[in-house]
Amino acid sequence: MPKITFIEHDGTEHTVDGEVGLSVMRAAIDNLVPGIDADCGGECSCATCHVYVDPSWMDKVGQPSDREESMLDLNPERESNSRLSCQIPVTEDLDGLKVTVPEFQM
């Protein structure tokens, strides 16, 4: 199973197993990683699953869809490596992925 590392705002790391086909958000929720609310359950409509993707992984995770872009864009804490983790499906290619959980979810 691909390993995903979530880094909390204070630096605490959580490395968990992601399930191929499910989202990075699910990997966090199923493993009780703090800092991700995911209020809409993964449908790209609440933006409370925001993460910052480690820059070296940006190419591998791909581009946000238009819908994700419109949600991300409303977040004042958005950076160029911001993504909604429910919109990143776990694949074998993402083994070793590192993302940072923001201090606050909107």
Which residues are near another protein by CB under 8 A? Answer: 37, 39-41, 43-47, 67, 70-71, 73-77, 103-106
Nearer to ligand FES, 7 or 25 (CB): 25
Comparing CA positions, the residue from 8, 9, 6 lying closest to residue 31 is: 6
Q: Contacting ligand FES (CB under 6 A), which of 3, 22, 31, 40? A: 40
Residue of minimal Cβ distance to ligand FES: 86
Using only C-alpha atoms, the chain has a radius of gyration, in whole angstroms, of: 12
Does residue 38 bind ligand FES (CB under 6 A)? yes
CA nearest to 51, candidates 26, 24, 74? 24
